[in-house]
Amino acid sequence: MGTLIQRGKKIEKKRVPRVCMKKTILNLSVLCLVSISFLFPPALAEAGSFTLLAPSAVLLDGRTQEIIYARAPHTKRAPASTTKLVTVMVALDHLSLDKIVQIPGGLENIPPSKIGLNGGESFYVRDLVKAALIKSANDAAEALAILTAGSRSAFTQLMNQKANNIGARNSNFVNPNGLPDGRQCSTAYDLARIMMAASRYPFIVNTLKIRSTVIYSRGGRRILLNNCNKMLWRTSGVIGKTGWTRTARHCFAGRVLSSGKVIFVGLMGSQRRQYLWSDLRRIESISSGKMPKPIVSAPDIPTRKETLRIQKALQRAGFFKGKPTGFYGKRTKAAVRNFQKAKGLPVTGTVGPETWKKLKA
C-alpha cells in the first residue's frame, strides 16, 4: 500500500469511554480478519481512502517538491519509453529546434514503435522530438542521440549526467529509447523528478499536449503521429510520456494540473495500460478535492511468482493448458473465470481468498 501524506491539519484529541474503546478494538479486529487474504491484498480501498494500482508510484507536490504519496518509490524498474523524456532534454540542451539534420544510416532495423527513418533523409530537430514524444518513435530517439553526441555510448553518458543533475540519481541509461536492457533502470521517484525537469522546457510541454499531428521530411514524406497518452482525450490537465515493454509493463512520467495545483507523477510496473488511466484519474481527484470512483475497479495485480502459482494450480485442476508463463493475461483470466464458474464462485477473473482456497483443495 502507498502512503498519502497530509499536512497542516490539527487533530483535537477527545476522551473516549472504555466501552466504546473495547467496541472499536473488536470492530477493528473483525475488519482486519475480513480484509486479510492468503495470497493477495484486497481490492481497491473503500471510498474516502486513497491507493493506486501501480506497484511503484510517486506523487510530488509541484510547489514544494515534497512527496505526497509513495509506494515503492525507490525500487529500480525498467523505465521503457519514459526514457525518451531524458533523451529529448539532452538533445535540446545541444541542438536548435530549427536545425535541419540528416538522418544517419543503420536505423532501419530498430524495433517499433518507429517512423521508418531512412539514412540520408533530412528533418527539422523539432519534428524528430515530436516523433519521439508523441509516437514514441525509437528510431527518432536514436537519431537524436547520434546527432547530438556522435554515438549512443557518448549520448548515454550525457543522459546519466542529466539524470544526476535533476535529482534522478537511482537511474541508469544505456540507450536513448527505452528498449529492453537489463542495465537500464529508473524509479518512480526519479520519473517524477524527470518530468519536473522536462516541464521547464516549453517545447516539451507543448508537444506532450498534442493528440495527433503530421510531420514531414524535408523531402516531403508525410508521417502521421498519434499520441500514446489517451488521457489527452479525457482531460486537458494530464500530460506525460507513457512506456511499455514486456519487462517494464506500463509506465508513466507526467504532470497533473487541477484547480491550480500541480502534481508530478511517476508510475511504474502497471500490468495494464488501463490501470494507468485509472490511477491518473484518482491523482486528478487529489488536486480537485474530489474522490471519484476509479475507471477500473481491480484488485492488486499478482507478481510473476504468484501468477506462476496460480497457473500451476489451475493446471492441476485441468483449467490451464500449456506451460505456465508468470504473465497474468487474457489466457490466465479466462482459466480463472472458467474455474470460478465450475466451482460456483463469483466469476471475476481474479484470484481472491475464496478462489485460492478452492484452487488449493
Average pLDDT value for residue range 130-155: 98
Per-residue model confidence as pLDDT tens digits over 238-272: 999 999 999 999 999 999 997 788 999 999 999 99
Structure confidence at residue 327 (pLDDT):
79
Cell of 47: 471510498
Output the CA–CA distances (angstroms, integers) from residue 70 to 23, 44, 54, 88, 177, in the order listed. Answer: 32, 16, 11, 27, 26
Which CATH number applies to 304-360?
Answer: 1.10.101.10
Residue ranges in 95-235 assigned as alpha helix (H): 125-130, 138-149, 152-165, 188-198, 202-208
Give me the residue spans of the domains in the chain: 80-288, 304-360
Q: DSSP labels for 287-309? A: HHT--PPPSS--PPPPPHHHHHH
Query: How would residue 154 be classed by pLDDT, with cut points 50, 70 and 90?
Result: very high
Output the CA–CA distances (angstroms, integers) from residue 187 to 10, 121, 169, in the order listed. Answer: 33, 36, 9
Structure confidence at residue 2 (pLDDT):
64
Phi/psi at 251 (5° precision): -130, 160
What global pTM score does this model have? 0.70
Average pLDDT value for residue range 88-117: 97
Query: What fold does the segment set 80-288 form as a domain?
Result: Beta-lactamase (3.40.710)
Vertex 245, ends 244 and 246: CA angle to 5°? Answer: 130
Angle between helices 138-149 and 83-94 (to 10 degrees): 40
Per-residue model confidence as pLDDT tens digits over 67-99: 989 999 999 999 999 999 999 999 999 999 999
Q: Are 81 and 136 in contact (CB under 8 A)?
A: yes
